[in-house]
Amino acid sequence: MKWTEIIVQTSNEAVEAVTNILETAGSKGVKIEDAEDYKKLRAGRFGEILNLADIPHIKSGASVTGYYPESIKVDDLLPQIKHQVDQLISFGLDPAPANVLQKPLEETEWQTAWKKYYHPVRITRYLTVVPDWETYKKTADEEKILKLDPGMAFGTGTHPTTQLCLQALEMYLRGGEELIDVGTGSGVLSIAASKMGAGKIRAFDLDQVAVDSAVENLKLNPDVKNIEIKPNDLLEGIQVQADVVVANILAEIIEPLVPQAKKCLKPGGLFITSGIIKDKLNLILDDLQKDNFEIIEVLQMKDWRAIVAKKPAEDQ
């Protein structure tokens, strides 16, 4: 498959917002290069001297690159992205120089380039995500190992939005719960929930690439036998009720999901939702409260927020 890069040349202060614009436009991944990060390198965390001239790098401002599959018409997206980037000025962010460029990319390069940066990560006290191509020795008996090769699907386990969901699952699962994972991507949340003792798990994703990746990741974790993975648009047409619904999707997609999640939760069930950039937190809190959810807590990591909300025990 052919992929296209959309590159936005911008300022340091606009990096998060531009990333959000590219992701909302359907990017399957984002690369950020920020001149400020290279300046920090010069200091050397352990006092070592780094010669910046040896490292190819951006000298000023920042550049954010989004990756789009051929199913997305990049030519139609460019004017919209350019407009949104220019508009950042009205939110008090200077996006200059605000150049928006496009470039073709061979999939093979994209498929493997990130692998060298992906290593085992101890996400919580009990959970470590290990790339399939790495060997890893447990450091504690209670540590659970989740083997993963996300391929082209989102979900290495390391993104703040995923980590927040994993932390919430570890805090709230007690064992035996029926769980629904909306937007499963690589399947990371479902597999982790199973290892934490959840009962029957149903995982859905709109993207067939994600469904295939999640199925492959199940095979890497043969101890996990209670997950059913299917393509589905959010919870459209899903008639079952679960104890927990977990969804790590952008705020714009969580909005229509809130009433569906309520329908698919048992009375007293938990809705764990992440993927919310901090500026959108109040929007989702309002939606949840309008649907009579009780807000249990808000978790945060960097600019991202996750919400744990409860369907009242008296609601059917």
Q: Which amino acid is at 204?
A: F
CA proximity to 227, closest of 256, 263, 264, 202:
202
37 among annotated binding-site residues? no
Q: Which of 61, 120, 183, 269 binds ligand SAM (CB under 6 A)?
A: 183
Distance CA 107, CA 167 (A): 33
Using CB under 6 A as the binding rule, whether residue 253 contacts ligand SAM is answered as: yes
Instruction: Give min distance, CB of 139 to ligand SAM, in A.
Output: 24
Using CB under 6 A as the binding rule, whether residue 165 contacts ligand SAM is answered as: yes
Size of the site for ligand SAM (CB under 6 A): 23
Instruction: Give min distance, CB of 234 to ligand SAM, in A.
Output: 4
Using CB under 6 A as the binding rule, whether residue 146 contacts ligand SAM is answered as: no
- 309 near 296, Cβ under 8 Å? yes
Using CB under 6 A as the binding rule, whether residue 84 contacts ligand SAM is answered as: no
Using CB under 6 A as the binding rule, whether residue 275 contacts ligand SAM is answered as: yes
Give 18 or 276: the residue with its C-beta nearer to ligand SAM.
276
Q: How far apart are the first and last CA of the chain?
A: 46
Distance CA 23, CA 206 (A): 16
Give 165 or 168: the residue with its C-beta nearer to ligand SAM.
165
Q: Which of 67, 154, 172, 304 binds ligand SAM (CB under 6 A)?
A: 154
CA proximity to 4, closest of 133, 100, 106:
106
Q: Which of 94, 134, 233, 252 binds ligand SAM (CB under 6 A)?
A: 233
Long-range contacts of 281-285 (CB under 8 A, 24+ apart): 281/305, 281/307, 283/251, 283/255, 284/251, 284/254, 284/255, 284/258
Distance CA 104, CA 316 (A): 51
Give 172 or 204: the residue with its C-beta nearer to ligand SAM.
204
183 among annotated binding-site residues? yes
Distance CA 82, CA 99 (A): 8
- 171 near 198, Cβ under 8 Å? no
Instruction: Give min distance, CB of 84 to ligand SAM, in A.
Output: 19
Return the range that interacts with ligand SAM (CB under 6 A); candidates 8-16, 75-83, 96-104, 246-254: 246-254
Using CB under 6 A as the binding rule, whether residue 194 contacts ligand SAM is answered as: no
Give 61 or 131: the residue with its C-beta nearer to ligand SAM.
131
Phi, psi for 202 (deg, rounded to 5): -115, 125
Return the range that interacts with ligand SAM (CB under 6 A); candidates 57-65, 112-120, 160-168, 285-293: 160-168
Using CB under 6 A as the binding rule, whether residue 121 contacts ligand SAM is answered as: no
Instruction: Give min distance, CB of 12 to ligand SAM, in A.
Output: 24
Distance CA 195, CA 245 (A): 17
Q: Where are the alpha helices (DSSP H) in 88-183?
A: 107-113, 160-172
Give 98 or 254: the residue with its C-beta nearer to ligand SAM.
254
Distance CA 193, CA 308 (A): 15
Which SS3 state, helix, strand or coil, does residue 214 take?
A: helix
Instruction: Show binding-site residues for S-adenosyl-L-methionine.
Output: 162, 183, 205, 248
From the annotation, which residues make up the binding site?
162, 183, 205, 248
Interface contacts to ligand SAM, rule CB under 6 A? 153-155, 161-162, 165, 182-185, 188-189, 204-207, 210, 233-234, 248-249, 253, 275
